[in-house]
Amino acid sequence: MPHPREGYVYATTGEDYTILARRSARTLKQVCPGACIDLFTDQDVVDPVFDRICRLDRSTHRPKLEAMGRSRFARTIMLDADTVPLTNISELFSMARVYPLSAMTGWSRPAFMLREQADIPRWYPHFNSGVMVFRRGRRVRQLARAWAADMDSSGRQFDQTSLRRLCWDLDISVGAIPQEYNLILLDLLKIWGPAMGAPRLLHIRDLHASPAGDPQSPFDLAQLLPPQQVTMIKTLFAAEASQGTAPPALPVWRRNRAGLAAIRLWKRLKL
């Protein structure tokens, strides 16, 4: 069987986070039945929903940094354990053909971050690491090592400030994942309209505030969201289906080597 070129990665420490990852992976399998999924964890787990379960070398509160450097896939979609895929999100893999790293820009602009990083222009965003797409290579491994080292030395609880600094210092071009692939502010569903397209993945941080549940069960939206939000999501998907908005395939010129070489040259020259 050929080595998979594309795959999904979860990284967890502790039993509760690992159970959430198992449930998220099962939810992912419902909408992406052929998905290849790996788990990096410090737990003793056997679960057929994962193609591989890899033991972490270190048990830290940011295991994704180690998993990022060790992913076996040429193109990886890394998901937090508290994410709920609603539909096939595999189109995100194509971002790794253009950018070494892609993530959604963060919503907040913490004052302490702007003070600490006064040398970085205010317009340069910070990135939410709950959903990341990256390609295997020297730049990503360098970022993962530096990110882990900075988190260790600084003792930070959250990783976004460190990620912003390193992407700036290492001159890494970061692709912008649209918010519907990492919807954190669920109240936006109150004003979401059909023209905005249906959300593809929910990032529900409140999942950590309640029992993790049955690891063999995928997430059930009816148990996670108010009825109005569930109805809105169903309405948005129905509207999208009626409009025939299936995502287009990656253009041929971007799939072949000559096209990719042209993109890389263009980016180096910063035209």
Domain count, the chain: 1
The answer as to whether 115 is a domain residue is yes
Asked whether residue 139 carries a pLDDT value surpassing 70, the answer given is yes
Closest C-alpha among 68, 46, 69, 66 to residue 56: 66
State which amino acid sits at residue 141: R
Asked whether the whole model's pTM tops 0.75, one would answer yes
State which amino acid sits at residue 218: P
The answer as to whether 57 is a domain residue is yes
Confidence band for 112, pLDDT divided at 50, 70 and 90: confident
The answer as to whether 1 is a domain residue is no
Q: Which two tokens stand for residue 258?
A: 């000559």
CATH of the domain at 68: 3.90.550.10
The answer as to whether 46 is a domain residue is yes
**What's the CA gap between 92 and 114, in Å, rounded?**
30
Q: What is the pLDDT of residue 256?
A: 52
Q: Which two tokens stand for residue 14?
A: 């502790």
Domain range holding 46? Answer: 6-269
Q: What is the pLDDT of residue 55?
A: 97
